[in-house]
Amino acid sequence: MPEIDIDPTTRIEGHHGITLQVDADGTVTEAKSKMEMFRGAEIVTLGRPPSDAPQITGMVCGVCFLCHRFCSSKAAEDAALNAEDVDFGGPPANAVRLRDTVEGIFYLWNHAVHLFALVGPDYSDAVAGTGFDRLDPLEGDGYMAAMANQRKVMKALAEFGGRAPHPVAYVPGGLATRPDVSTIQAVKSRVQEVSNWLGATENVPQVIENVQNGEFDPALGEGLHDIVSIILAAAEAGAADIGQGPDRFYSNGMFEDPESGELFLKRGVYRNGSAEELTKQEIIDGITEDTEYSWYTDDSGGAPTDAKPPEPAPEKDQAYSWGKAPRFEGQSMEVGPLARMTITGLDPFDLRATLGGGAAESNTLNRLIARAQETLVVRDQIMDWLDAIDPSEPFMADDWSDDFTGKGVGLMEASRGALSHYMDIENGEIERYQIITPTIWNLGPRDGSGQPSPLEEGVVGDVVSNVESPLTVLRTIRSMDPCLACSVHVQSPENASKTEVEPVTPSIGGGSCDI
């Protein structure tokens, strides 16, 4: 049976390859999803105080930098809350609101990156001859407008965090700075600019009609026209019939009301045709990681609340990935916007039901639709969340200290899916750390029982009609929004290397320097 290797599969986000077994017609019969570099961020945290962990783990990815920092802070806070003889009462409500609001703003940025830079080109005129030249990478007007608006979002994030990417203001216990009224207003102004470019949610039906008729009305939203173009091009290309996953979904839930504890996007799983809302502890108790086909020792797997930090085993027989295989109650689960929308019961304008074969159907088209839907759903809440932040109330707990012994778990939803950080602290030092990322859930290897990951299952049945340009398979892979930077990270060569960098000296009076 012919074998096809595609490496890399991603455009800008890490080291992922896939090996496909295909039949004589080019139909994929089996796949191995390969994460080909080692992540050691957990190991770096060991022996350090818990307040160091958000800074370290936030650096494992230049894309999901906020969610890792927030999730690590939540793990440290949970450990303090679970510790004995500790007075910590949790972060102030203002800090909870602000973190979630910032992550909501970050969703706008990250979803735009996905839709326009990572997936959009697959449906552009330049790549696929769709006629949608606004989506053409680096040259299309829609592509360039999206890049400009992503910059505005990043500036908004920097207002609160001190810088973006890799902000420094968010710490265990809350926020190390106090945003004033003018800072909040500056963020609102930038978000409003991006919102105006995107267009009002109520305009979606008219924009769909416009795109179908080859019309473009910027007053209804430039961004909406381009996003709808991606969706309709994908529908025309048969994306509803490819990338069919397990129809099982998992979400940690997101956007918490600090008074009621209610989550705007629900926590739970979807399986056997129905959604189940679960408690945090039920989620924690249900998760395990399998390392049968991973380059890690067997005892690096198991329950992430107990397993050791990942121990590499690069010579392991049968292994083919630096990713582990996470499972919920023994089953593979797809994570991401489609999971969140399905578990929360949202399908705005019934787009997935009408275009994607069903609101809960796991396929390449529905993943694109759900991401677009979530962009609008979250955007429509952000101003209310910003209004709820009270600059006169505290943003930082006055009783935070690193000096305690405890175990904690941070759960949240990165834009591309469920994220979990696990932290054990002994006498003020991190003793054990684990991270389970969204991409591991979607693109990990098979487990010891032979159960494939959602991606390995999803590409089966896709057809490789052109080995030089396996666009159908790549569309499926990219629909799952892989980000390998935080799933796998660094692998050192056997031989050490050394590079000396000499700082440049600016020329006097010239305002320039030689590089």
Q: Cα separation of 132 and 136, whole Å?
A: 7
CB 442 within 8 A of CB 335: yes
Segment 71-110, tens digit of pLDDT:
999 999 999 999 988 889 999 999 999 999 999 999 999 9
Residue 483 is labelled as binding a ligand: yes
Higher model confidence: residue 485 or residue 46?
Answer: 46
pLDDT tier at 512 (50, 70, 90 boundaries)? very low
237, part of any domain: yes
CB within 8 A of 129, min separation 6: which ones?
none
Q: How many CB atoms lie within 10 A of CB 27?
A: 15
340, part of any domain: yes
11, part of any domain: no
Q: Average pLDDT, stretch 21-25? A: 91
> Which of 104-113, 199-208, 280-289, 368-377 has the least mean pLDDT?
104-113
Q: Cα separation of 449 and 40, whole Å?
A: 26
pLDDT exceeds cutoff 50 at 116: yes
21, part of any domain: no
Dihedral, CA of residue 9, residue 312, residue 52 and residue 84, to nearest 10:
120
The confidence score (pLDDT) of residue 48 equals 95
474, part of any domain: yes
CB 330 within 8 A of CB 253: no
Q: Average pLDDT, stretch 214-221? A: 97
Whose CA is closest to 361, among 246, 272, 475? 246
The confidence score (pLDDT) of residue 8 equals 79
Q: What is the 3-state secondary structure (H, E, C) of 71-129?
A: HHHHHHHHHHHHCCCCCCCCCCHHHHHHHHHHHHHHHHHHHHHHHHHHHHHHHCHHHHC
* 444-454 burial code (b ≥16 CB/10 A, e <16): bbbbeeebbbb
Strand partners, 312: 296
Residue 435 is labelled as binding a ligand: yes
Q: Which residue has the tokens 């994220």?
A: 419
Residue 333 token pair: 């689960």
pLDDT exceeds cutoff 80 at 306: yes
The confidence score (pLDDT) of residue 264 equals 97
446, part of any domain: yes
Residue ranges making up the domain that contains 115: 38-487
Q: Average pLDDT, stretch 121-129? A: 95
The alpha carbon of 383 is separated from its chain's Cα centroid by a whole number of angstroms, namely 22
Segment 398-453, tens digit of pLDDT:
999 999 999 999 999 999 999 999 999 999 999 999 999 999 999 999 999 999 99
132, part of any domain: yes
pLDDT exceeds cutoff 90 at 500: no
Residue 71 is labelled as binding a ligand: no
The confidence score (pLDDT) of residue 163 equals 76
Residue 176 token pair: 């190390």
Percent of the chain with pLDDT over 70: 92
What CATH number did the domain enclosing 456 receive? 1.10.645.10
pLDDT exceeds cutoff 50 at 489: no
Segment 194-209, tens digit of pLDDT:
999 999 999 999 999 9
Q: What is the pTM of this model?
A: 0.91
Segment 390-399, tens digit of pLDDT:
999 999 999 9
pLDDT exceeds cutoff 50 at 174: yes
Counting the structural domains of the chain, the total is 1
Q: Cα separation of 323 and 340, whole Å?
A: 23
Q: Average pLDDT, stretch 203-224? A: 97
Residue 42 is labelled as binding a ligand: yes
Residue 489 is labelled as binding a ligand: yes
The confidence score (pLDDT) of residue 1 equals 55
Higher model confidence: residue 331 or residue 471?
Answer: 331
Positive or negative CA dihedral for 243, 246, 250, 254?
A: positive
The confidence score (pLDDT) of residue 494 equals 57
Higher model confidence: residue 92 or residue 487?
Answer: 92
CB 108 within 8 A of CB 372: no
512, part of any domain: no
Q: Cα separation of 428 and 426, whole Å?
A: 6
How many residues in total does the chain contain? Answer: 515
Q: What is the 3-state secondary structure (H, E, C) of 373-421?
A: HHHHHHHHHHHHHHHHCCCCCCCECCCCCCCCCEEEEEEEEECCEEEEE
Segment 140-169, tens digit of pLDDT:
999 999 999 999 999 998 888 877 777 888
What's the N-to-C CA distance of the chain in angstroms?
52
Residue 67 is labelled as binding a ligand: no
